[in-house]
Structure formats: C-alpha cells, structure tokens
Amino acid sequence: MTAGAAAQPVTVVIATRGRPQMLRTAVRAVLDQRYDGPIEVIVVFDQIDIDPLSDVAVPSGRTVNTISNSRTPGLAGGRNSGITAAHGSLIAFCDDDDEWLPGKLASQVSLLERNSEASMVATGIRIESEGGSHVRLPPPRAAFSDLLESRITEIHPSSFLFRRSDLEGPIGLVDEHLPSGYGEDYDMLLRAARVGPVLSVVEPLVIVNWNRPSFFSGKWEGIVDGLSYLLQKFPEFARSPKGHARIAGQVAFAHAALGNRREARSWARRSLKGDRGQLRAYAALMISARFAPAGALVSFVNRGGRGL
C-alpha cells in the first residue's frame, strides 16, 4: 500500500452447504487476519437454512453477514450472491472447509496494489490429505497461455483475490451456466488471465483440507459435462495441444469411471494425440480395460496431494 493510504476494504465470500464446524474455522481464520483495513465476511448458505453464526466472536473492524443463495443453486450462484452483496473494493473467496493463515490477506493486497496490470492475486497452499501435508507453490506470474497449457492447481480458489470492479466489468461473475459447476475456478482463472496476468504470493498461506469428502467426488457425469463445456467456451485450447490433451484425458478418465468404454477410449486417443505422456489417458484406458478401478486411482493421487 502507498505510505499513509488507508487499507482497502475487503469482502470475503464463503459459500457453504452444511459443514458447520469447518465453516466456523474458516470464518474465524478470516476474522483473525493481520490486515489493517476493514474485512466483511459474507457467508452464503446454498440450499440449506441460514446459520447466524452467533457463537463466532467478531472483532472490531470486521463484520459477518449471513445470507441465502438468491441465484442459481450451487457454488457459482452462491459466490455470485456474495459478490453482488459485497461492499468491499476487493473481493476474495474462501471455501468453507479451508483456512487462511494470518498474513495471507495483507501480503496479497500489497502485491495487487503494486501491480496495477494484474487481474487477480493468489497464494501458495498447504494441502492436508490422508497422506500428510503437501506444500504447493504457484509461479509468481501466470499468463493466459500458461493457464491453457496447465490448470496450475497450485492456484487454488480459496486464495483468489480480485478487484470488485474487475468482477463487475472485464472478468465478470462466476459462470452459472457451467454444467454442475465443475471447473468454475478454472473458468475464472482463464477469463482473468485474458484481462491481465495472474500473480501469486509464493508462500503457502492457505490450508486446503482434502481429508474429507469432496462435493464432486465420484460425480463423473458432471465432470464430463463441465470440461466439455470449457473446451467449447475457450476455442484457444485448439492452439494448445498439451492443454487440450490434459482436459481430454480428464474427460476420458471420467467416461471410464462411468463405464462408458467406447467414449473413454475415443477421448483417450484425442488426449494422446496432443500429448503422448498424458497419464490420465493411460489411466482411462486401464480402467476401460478393467485393469484398475477408478476410485482406487483417485484415492492414490489424492493421498499425495494431487487431484484428477
């Protein structure tokens, strides 16, 4: 921040669907941030009754508002309900089962204010999985072409920080048309990177808890539909063979998990055409040939702090 300037107000949007204890941990971690400016926490209850969180102590300079998702049911609509209700000039996301470390917000805001060309700022993460703790550090800068080639999963949505004016303008709100809401964070990253570079504080300042079931765990049809939608939405994937191969490999894997052997093999061939080393495609072929179950492979990579 500029010397003598007041710290910008930040709104933190947390969409939730019924994890009350983890939600409280997430909210308290936001309220405990070492940040000089005002912090507004908006908790959006999606398809469940509002919990007033009256047992959460709210320090001076902080507010907690609890609202219902007034838009499309699901994470995208929940986040957009929070964005449209926000008062802060900056908007951050946090999942209801994750936790910020105390210096997270101040480091991000400082980096964003020093880089007017940036479309958003993220941080590194520490994943807590059944296999232990895994630190994942993102690159300090990612361009649109980088994000076409790789999802860069080290850039996690619980670390996203935007200018509200960008979400109301060139980036836009979360895409509520994305089938099943799968890949909404990747969609936002791609749209943000079209506007300007995605910067990151290269420190693990968010704890991501993977030692619990995911809402997307095993929902293979939603994964197929969501990723197929992204390929159509971003025609630029056609000029990124590795990026297209990666997504095609994920679609192949999901089809294989569904037992759609013909579709799995077709997508696997598309994937390997762009990248002969795409492991998801080989895994899909193994599953479709019944050499390995999908669930066991997913559990194996999750234990190592990786995802599909």
Express each pLDDT in 239-280 by its tens digit.
Answer: 999 999 999 999 999 999 999 999 999 999 999 999 999 999
H helix intervals, 135-217: 144-149, 164-167, 184-195
Tell me which DSSP letter residue 117 carries: T
Closest by CA position to 59, among listed 82, 40, 79: 40
Residue 3 lies in a domain: no
Confidence at residue 264, expressed as pLDDT on a 0 to 100 scale = 94
pLDDT at position 3 over 50: no
Specify whether 159 is located in the same domain as 233. no
76 and 175 part of one domain:
yes
Do residues 236 and 205 both lie within one domain? no
Looking at 176, 209, 242, the residue that finishes a domain is 209
Query: 164 and 26, same structural domain?
Result: yes
Same domain, yes or no: 41 and 90: yes
By CB neighbour count within 10 A (0-12 exposed, 13-18 middle, 19+ buried), where does 93 fall?
Answer: buried
Q: Annotate 198-214 with b (16+ C-beta within 10 A) or e (fewer).
A: bbbbebbbbbbbbeeee
* Length of the chain, in residues: 308
Work out the pLDDT band at 219, boundaries 50, 70, 90. confident
User: In this structure, are 120 and 160 located in the same domain?
Assistant: yes
Q: Is residue 290 part of a domain?
A: yes
48: Cβ contacts below 8 Å, ≥ 6 apart: 16, 17, 18
| Domain end position, chosen among 182, 209, 236 | 209
Q: What is the CATH number of the domain that holds 195?
A: 3.90.550.10
- The reply to whether 172 and 237 lie within a common domain is no
Tens digit of pLDDT for each residue in 40-97? 999 999 999 999 999 999 999 999 999 999 999 999 999 999 999 999 999 999 999 9
Regarding whether 31 and 175 lie in a shared domain, the answer is: yes
End position of a domain, from candidates 209, 242, 273: 209
Same domain, 125 and 175: yes
Q: Domain range holding 233?
A: 220-303
User: Residue 200: is its pLDDT beyond 50?
Assistant: yes
102 and 198 both lie in a single domain: yes
Whether 76 and 55 have beta carbons less than 8 Å apart is answered as: no
**194 and 225 share a domain?**
no
Same domain, 289 and 194: no
Is 1 a member of any domain?
A: no
Euclidean distance between CA atoms 116 and 92, whole angstroms: 17
**Number of domains forming the structure of the chain:** 2
In a domain, 2, yes or no: no
